[in-house]
Structure formats: C-alpha cells, structure tokens
Structure 1
C-alpha cells in the first residue's frame, strides 16, 4: 500500500496590504523577512530595490533562506502563482532550483519538496515549463541529485521522482511528424532515469525495509478507449525496457494521473495540457480518425471537473490571466475536436455516410457527442455564474468571454450538424436527446448575450449540403420549436435565408447541379421567411437569385438549378399561414388560452 500522502492542511493566502508595508533594510541586517514579503506581494520592483540595497551576493543568500514555516522564497512564489517573481529569483538572484523546502497546497502539506514537484501539484503550467527548461540547461540532473542525496523519507522520494520523471517525458518537444523513438531524447532519458531510481527504491530497498509496490491507476471508460490496454511499468526490468518503447509517453500519463489522483489533486491541468499537445501529434499524423475522436473526448473528460474558478482572487486581471494562460489549451482543444468532426465528414455523397459511420459507430459514440454537449453547456454555466453578472468586469474581459462563447457556438454547431445529418441512423430517443441538448444550449446563448441567429446561420451552411437527406425534418424541428427564426439577422443584416443562398451557390459551383436542392430554402420561405427582406448591402434573396441566374446565362451554364424560377417568381405575399397569423394578431383574436401546440402559439405571437 502506498502511504506517502502528505498531511492535510489549509492553504494560507494572507499578503501585506500594500507595498508601503514592506520595510527595507541595509546589507548589515537580516533581510530574509523582506524577501518573503516581496515574494508574497508579487513585487519584482521591491526585489530589485532589495538587490540594489544589499548587493547580489547578500540578496542571493537571502533568497536561499527559510522562513519559520520551512518554506523558501522560490516555493512561496510558486504557491502565489507568480511566474515573474519565479523568473527573477532564478535568473537574477541565481536561486538553486534544486533547493528543497516545505510546501503547502490546498489540503496537503509536504515537508520537503523540490520546486519542480511543487509546480506540478499546484497546477502552475507556465511555471512548470519554465522550471523544466531551466533544469535541461544543465548536463547533471539537479532534481535527481537533490532528491537522492536528501533525508526525505523513502515514500516521498518515490513520489517526487516518479512525478518529476513523468514531467520530463511529457514536456519533451512534440514533433508534428511522427519519428522513431530511439531512446536518445534528453528529456525522456532524464525522466526515465528518475523512474529507474524510484523503482529501485520501491522494490530494492535497504536491508530490513519493506517493498512499496505500485497500485495502478484505474482509468474511466473513455480513458480505456484512449489508452487501450496500456499499463505503466511495474518492475525495474519493465522500466529499463520502456525507454525505447513507443508507449513511453502513454505510461508517463498513467504515472502522473496515478499520483495526482491518489493525492487528491486530480483533475490537474498539467495532465490535460500535456495530453492535448500529444493529442495534436496524433491528430496530424494518424489516419484513424475514430481513434483520435476517442482521445479528444477523454481530453474533455479530464478538463470537465477542473474547478478553475475557485482559484480566482476576484480581480479582472486575475480572470484574464487564467483564461489567457491556463485555459488556452481548453479552447484549442475545442477547435481541434471541431476539426476532427469535419475530418470525419470530409468525403461527400454516398461516401460521407458510410465513412462517418465507420468513424463514429452509433450509438456508442453518440453518447460521447452528447457528453461534449454537456461539457460545453456546463462550462458556459460556470462562465455565467462567475462573470456575466459581475459589474466590475472590464470591457476587454467581457469581450473575451463573448468571443469564447462564439467559438463554442461554432463548435457545437459542427457536432450537431454532423449528427443530424445521420438522423436516419438514430433512434427516436437519441433524436429527442440531441434536440433537447441544442435547445438548452440556445437558451444559454440567450443568457450570455450571444445571438442565437449565429448558431443557425452557421447551421444552415451544413443544412445546405446535398448529402443531408433529412434537411426538411431538421429545419422543421427548429422552426416548430421556436428556436429558428428564418428572418433573424446578423450584424451585417443578413437573414438566415441570405446565408443559406450563399452556401447553396457554393455547392452548385463545387459539386454540380446534381448536388443542388432548394428544399431548405423553400421550407424556410413556407414558414415565414421573407424573400424581399433587405440586408445592409441592399440585397434581397429574390434579387440575389435573379442576379445569379443572369450570371449563369452569361457564363454559358446550360443547366440551371431546378426550381430557381419558381423561387424568383414567388409572390411577395406571405404564405396563407403567415397571413392568418398576422390577421389574428391585428384583430386581437384571443388564442393564448386555447389548447394549441406551443409551436403554433409562438407562430401566432410573431404574426408573420
């Protein structure tokens, strides 16, 4: 049984009230207190003044001191999440990154840890990368030497060697083109050396000490799909063989997740951040898109429970810092998964459906698609709860949050569109589940101020594709549910129908007349779409189609889209249903208390 979990303790976040509270001393007095106060305040300016007052030699010695808690200035800077202070201590004051000290984080208290280890367990992505880069500047293994020569208890040595070793392996440079792993990568070799020393401590202890065998990490169902039957090395011999193994990186993930989970520190952003980097390599080199999709959904599963908002100190600068740094990988991951979805449907015609089903065998991966929907909706709820009602947010912060909402909107549109295209393969229950998810997302868009028309403008791009046999049923669902207004306009004044026309033209020129259909357009016009509604450029749908027809004649096209004349010559009068709705509203005929379908009541309220 592994029993090296550190003692429980709450994190102390107290800081001086202002920079004026820091009292400077000259070189004849002990300035370690001032060093620690400046570090806690995150003030590089004060550290520079201390350096100017005391000189490099004295200030460097002070930067290696310990406070009464047993902490070092570098470990305090890591706890305070301040990369600039960490850099100043290491680069300007030449602090030894192998110096061991005490580290409190959340519910754990480690009496003796290395800065590298502290940065990983405290989830400081930028600091982790900086410290690992500093370590690799030296031929000797600073962290390994510090741990092996210290008086740290054996179980804690094993913990730190294994986690730091996994860090070296996962932080190696990831090439876009897959290369043979010959075991000569310096970062991988450093990590492997840490693992070998840890396994020796586990299974080959000094006389009289018991062995400490591993307890493997139990992956979730999605984790098993992503990693397959991979297991981490359990013996010294298996560690020795792993250096030249293509599964070394996967084993490093398992090692990291095992420790962080056992310590109560998983989920941890370091793991999904590294997983995303290596996932990109698979995405660009692997032809098995279904496999990449499994990795993508597991990445989001790891990100889902990360309680990033708990660490915000309340200031706008803190919010933007976390969003722009720690969560850059989240939005990059979403965009990449969108690309995976597109890649799945890259072939057209009859090949599309067969290729799509081969990549996403229904209904198994339908559940994964619904999980992605839930993930995005939950994330949006957290954004709403944390930020959207905060009057102190700056315009920049609000704009940033709005932009991320739009990215998620496009992403979910791609997923829903690809699933709906395969609607004939779904059960009635699955269709209802997807429709409910889309409806929920649209309502969340309303709460954040994201225009729902953007969802449907992008959605109509998909619906204009000729391979979508269910376009009529799909569009009718959205209209009947009150989610889709054919006349909704974007910031350019284009209605959903304007955007649909542009996409239909693209498909005509790209795939030919056989690939063309006015089904979606006619259905929207029949449900209240206005053919003569003008956009900001003064264009109407009727005018665009008439100009297009003339252009086709002038370019010598013999075959014209079937039905174009009937649409161009369509009466300006609204359909009978719309006229009735307008008449009911005009004469104020009561209908709210009648037993009518909700979709019909909504149609009457609009009075097309």
Structure 2
C-alpha cells in the first residue's frame, strides 16, 4: 500500500487538529506557501478546511505561518507602511473594474489580475467565508504589522466576493488601521496609519456610490445605537458622505488628536456587526477585541463610559459556546475584570459622589455578579485540555465575583427582595458548579478570604456570605485543583488561638455537607490535618 502523499498528510493533520504534524510538514521554507495553497478534492485549502471544521488552534497556526512567509518587498513605500505587492488597493479605480461576481449584461474595461501567488491564499478563502469571520481569524490588532493589513486588504480587493461584502471588508479594514494607531506606542508622523484607515473608508464610499454600467448605489444605512452603546461612545454620529470623511482627514494633522477617527472606527464596527444576520450573530473576536481596546484607552475620569463599553462586550456572553473561538472567552474574562476594576475604583469615591451613587446600585452590582458566574461556568466547561491559563482565569473571575458580592453587603445591606434576586443567581450557579471539580469554587474563595480577614465588620460579612453560599446549594465536598475541600482549608488554619467565629464557620461548612474523612489526592483527610 502506497504511503500517503505530503498533501494528504497536510489535510489529515488539519482535520485531526495536529499542529505538531503540520510543523514538521512545513519545515521546508521553500515549499511552505505551495503547501498552504494545496487543495483537497472539494477544492478547499488547508486554511479553509480548518475554518469550516472550527479547528481554532490549526487556524491560528496556519495564519501565523502565512504571516511569517509571505513575500514582503524590501522597498519602502512610505516611512511607515511597506509595499506588499505589485499594486496597492488604494490605486484601484472601482468604476473600471468588475467588483465581485460577473454582473449580467454589464461590461467592464478591466478585470483584476492577482498581484502575486501569495495573495491567492487569502483571496480564494475570501470568496467562500464571510468577511466578519475572516476579520476574526486574520487580524490581530495587538501583534500584526500594518504591512499585513495591506496584504489582507489587497487580498480582499482581488477576490470575487460580492460588492456588499467588499464594502464591509474595506470599512472593517479601515477601522483596523485606525485602531492600530490607537494601540501603537509610536507617535506616527501625520497619523499615517490612521489616514490609511480613512483611505479604506473613502474607497468603500467609491464602491457604494459607483453607478458605472448600470450599477445601483448602495447607501450606508446607519444602525440605531442602544442606550449602552450611546453612553459608551457619546454623541458622535457616523459619517455618511465622502465630504465628511474629507473634512476629518484634513483635521488629522500632526498636532490634532485622532480621537474623532477612533470614535468613527467604533461606530463602523458597531454598525457592521449590529446589522449582521442570525447566522453571523455569534461572538466575534475582532468585534470584541476592538471594544476591549477602546475601553482600555478611556481615561480614569471616564468610568461611566468604561462601564458601558464593558457591558457592550459582556452582552454577547450568553451567545458563546464551546464551538466559538476560545479567544472570545478570553475577551469576556478581560472585559469582566476591567468592569470590576471600575467598580472598585468607584467604591473608593466619596459616599456622596454622583458616579458612585448612580453606578453602584444593587441592580448594577447584581448584573456584574451574574456576568461573573456565567463566565466561570463557561471556563469550567471549556473543552479539554484545560490549560493553566483557563485555571488562572477561572480563579481571577471567582475572586472578583466574590468581591462584588461582598461589596453588595458592604454598601447596601440588601433588603428581602434583593436577597431573593441574589439567591436566584447564586442557586442557579451552584447547581452547575456541582458538576465540575478541580477549580476554585465560590465557597473555596469565601473561606480563603474569611481566613485572611482580621477586621471585625468585614469578618461578619464574610461569615454571612459563606452561609449564603451554603444556603443556596454550594457543595462543601467540591475539590479545588489541589484536591482540597473548603474544610481542608479551614483545618489547615485551625489553632488554639482561633476566634469563636472560626468554629462557627467550620460548623456551618460541616453541617452544609462537608466530610471530615474526605481525602485529597495525597490521601490526607480533614481529621488528619486537625
């Protein structure tokens, strides 16, 4: 029997999710791009197969391999942006070219010629995958060089994706250029990258307004913003005509702040993803990442704006499941931690502070607690293998969620109705938590913080919260990543000097279902520790 060819082995490795096998197959730099361009019996490239089968590690590996091996010419087109291919998308006259699939009874004077074989790798995928998904997989705002943005934009332009999709591609790439400058630690002369983003938007307007050979214009329809989005961005309105865009570009001198362009980028992204159909309504990493980075750059005096940016991120949490990109879950974690940071900051404001009074309401704190419990649930049920990062994220979110619950009791002393609402959130969470082990539970965290507390008032609140957890179904037998139950943690700190309240907590956990003879992975029982 003949051994499988390199091509067959590549596609088998993609389907099996084996990055190590692909790394070996791509060891020859001379053949990497040819291997990436191989097609299976269904005319699909390795990257397209990985996307279709949601092999996220493989997608990341293949995209990084493309980035590391595409042909970037050595000559510099400007001080800041390297030329990527034999032509630049910004020079294209859209009225002279066929944009998208052939249009019936319409003749065009020119057709696109692919500038290099490298461009075909992304171009051919762009014909079969939505732009929204491609932005999620191809664009990394943190680490990508702007030359990669140029390459991707050229690839989109040369593709045969439909005209409406190509408009969206140009608008989103424009937003990516603009936000890239926001994230850059370098002060770009004349805001070169930001201007490049505006040029993308200008080209999108040309494509929208083209009426050559019977084309119909495609007007930009603004998306109504929610109250949360409006509080996050302010009263900025998205530009709808090229003249407004030209005026914005004229203001982008070396001394002027590009903040207006940053707000426009966010509006473009909110509109584009807000108008998507149900099929594409799942959380999208590019979408969430842009919101997160925008939030991180809001100054300390913009607490209300930042809270609402975090809410824009977290409102997508319920639509996330294990079939979505795990990078989205990381954004939810970071968004929640950012949210809780703002709450901690507001808590330190004077009691009569307007921001503190308006934002630290019981309803807002309960919403944050609910977000935290949902994120922990998603992390606990993350598909294996469970990485150290997942465990660390889980611990951080449990820690912050517990702190929010403590804040509720410190600031509000909730009434009976509010306690019922909190009970509903906690009991729902604890029913799910019982099905997993090996993570720090809410009860573990409550016991840890109780043992670290020395101030009497805070000690009594900690005791109250521990009892609240037990009453709502927290399982004292659940083990953490070290195989310990909450009783093990208490037993390790037991001494003749312990206060009476310590023994009250120990008794409460024991009566809640804890076992003195439950063993750790090392065979240590609570009784043995005592």
> What TM-score, normalized by structure 1, do the two folds share?
0.58
Superposition deviation, residue 436 in structure 1: 3.7
Do structure 1's residue 85 and structure 2's residue 62 form an aligned pair?
yes
Q: 1:186 aligns with which of 161, 181, 192?
A: 192
In structure 2, relative to structure 1, the CA distance for the partners of 1:429 and 1:84 (3 Å cut) is same
Equivalent position to 1:129, from 116, 124, 140: 140
- Distance in structure 2 (CA, Å) of the matches to 1:445 and 1:62: 45
Is contact 2:208–2:218 with CA below 8 Å preserved after alignment? yes
Contact preservation (8 Å) 2:446, 2:462: no
The residue number in structure 2 matching 1:371 is 367
Mapping for residues 575-594 of structure 1, pairs under 5 Å: none
1:166-218 alpha-carbon deviations (Å, 9 max, x no partner): 22223335268xx9x99933332222111111012213432632221122223
Aligned pairs for 1:166-565 (under 5 A) are 166-174=175-183, 184-206=190-212, 208-243=214-249, 244=252, 245-264=258-277, 265-266=280-281, 267-282=283-298, 285-307=299-321, 309-311=322-324, 323=326, 325-347=327-349, 351=350, 353-355=351-353, 358-361=355-358, 366-384=362-380, 393=384, 397=386, 401-423=390-412, 428-441=416-429, 444-449=432-437, 450-457=440-447, 460=450, 479=467, 482-483=470-471, 535-536=492-493, 538=495, 540-541=497-498
**SS of residue in 2 equivalent to 1:354:** coil
Is residue 239–residue 245 contact of structure 2 (8 Å, CA) maintained in 1?
yes
Call closer, same or farther: CA 1:39–1:22 in 2, change over 3 Å.
farther
Q: Is the 8 A contact 2:156 2:166 kept in 1?
A: yes
What does residue 5 of structure 2 align with? 23
Instruction: Kindly provide the CA deviation profile for residues 250-276 of structure 1, in whole angstroms up to 9, marking residues without a partner as x.
Output: 322332233334343233121112211
Offset at residue 354 of structure 1 (A): 2.1
Aligned residues: 443
Q: Deviations over 1:283-335 (max 9, x none)?
A: xx23132332222222211344223x025xxxxxxxxxx65x55333323332
Does the CA-based 8 Å contact 1:170-1:252 persist in structure 2? yes
SS at match of 2:364: helix
Specify whether residues 89 and 433 from structure 1 end up closer, same or farther in structure 2 by C-alpha distance, changes over 3 A only. closer
Give deviations 1:397-416, integer Å, cap 9, x for gaps.
Answer: 27665543322221112222
**For residues 565-576 of structure 1, what are the structure 2 equivalents within 5 Å?**
none
Equivalent position SS for 1:129 = coil
* Contact 2:406–2:465 (CA under 8 A) maintained in structure 1: no
| 1:97–1:131 contact (8 Å) kept in structure 2 | no
Hey, what does 2:107 align to over in structure 1?
Answer: none
Query: What's the RMSD between the two structures over aligned residues?
Result: 4.9
Once the two structures are TM-superposed, the CA of residue 135 in structure 1 deviates from its matched residue by 4.9
- Cα distance between partner residues in 2 of 1:96 and 1:269: 25
Q: Is the alpha carbon distance of 1:175 and 1:162 closer, same or farther for their aligned partners in structure 2, counting shifts above 3 Å?
A: closer
Q: Is the 1:304–1:375 Cα contact (8 Å) retained in structure 2?
A: no
CA distance in 2, matches of 1:88, 1:411: 37
Question: Residue 110 of structure 2 aligns with which residue?
Answer: none
- Contact 2:135-2:286 at 8 Å conserved across structures: yes
Shift of 1:235: 1.0
Hey, what's the Cα distance between the residues in 1 that align with 2:315 and 2:396? Answer: 19
Judging changes above 3 Å, is the alpha-carbon distance between structure 1 residues 541 and 175 closer, same or farther for their aligned structure 2 residues? farther
Equivalents in 1 of 2:513, 2:287: separation in Å?
A: 53
Match of 1:157 in 2: 166
Is the CA contact (8 Å cut-off) linking 2:362 and 2:412 kept in structure 1?
Answer: no
Greater Cα radius of gyration, structure 1 or 2: 1
Higher mean alpha-carbon deviation, 369-378 vs 194-203, is at: 369-378
CA deviation profile, 1:510-536 (whole Å, cap 9, x unmatched):
xxxxxxxxxxxxxxxxxxxxxxx9854
Aligned to 2:358, the other structure's residue is in SS state: coil
2-structure distance, mates of 1:150, 1:452: 51
Q: Per the alignment, do residues 534 and 461 of structure 1 end up closer, same or farther by CA in structure 2, a change over 3 Å counting?
A: closer
| Contact 1:268 1:306 survives alignment (8 Å) | no
Shift of 1:440: 4.3
2:398/2:441 contact within 8 Å kept: no
After superposition, the Cα gap between the structure-2 partners of 1:96 and 1:604, relative to the gap in structure 1 and judged at 3 Å, is closer
User: Does the C-alpha gap of structure 1 residues 148 and 290 become closer, same or farther in structure 2, counting only changes over 3 Å?
Assistant: closer
User: Displacement, 1:337?
Assistant: 2.3
CA contact (8 A) 1:40 1:76 kept: yes
Secondary structure at 2:127's aligned position in 1?
Answer: strand
Q: Secondary structure at the match of 1:239?
A: helix
Instruction: Quote the Cα distance in structure 2 between the aligned partners of 1:153 and 1:144.
Output: 15
1:15-53, Cα deviation, whole Å (9 max, x unpaired): xxxxx96315xxxxxx7x77766766654346437x58x
Q: Is residue 132–residue 168 contact of structure 1 (8 Å, CA) maintained in 2?
A: no
Q: Secondary structure at the match of 1:232?
A: coil
Distance 1:475 1:354, change over 3 A: farther
Structure 2 gap segments, 5+ residues each? 72-116, 253-257, 516-530
Deviation sequence 1:409-444 (CA, Å, 0-9, x none): 2111222222222215x6643343234434544555
Match of 1:96 in 2: 118
* Distance in 1 (alpha carbons) for counterparts of 2:334 and 2:3: 42
1:448 is paired with a residue of what secondary structure?
coil
The answer on whether the counterparts of 2:170 and 2:204 sit within 8 Å (CA) in structure 1 is yes
Structure 1, gaps ≥5 residues long: 1-19, 25-30, 104-109, 312-321, 388-392, 500-532, 543-566, 583-598
Name the SS of the counterpart of 1:541 in structure 2: coil
Q: Structure 1 residues 422, 253: closer, same or farther in 2, change over 3 A?
A: same
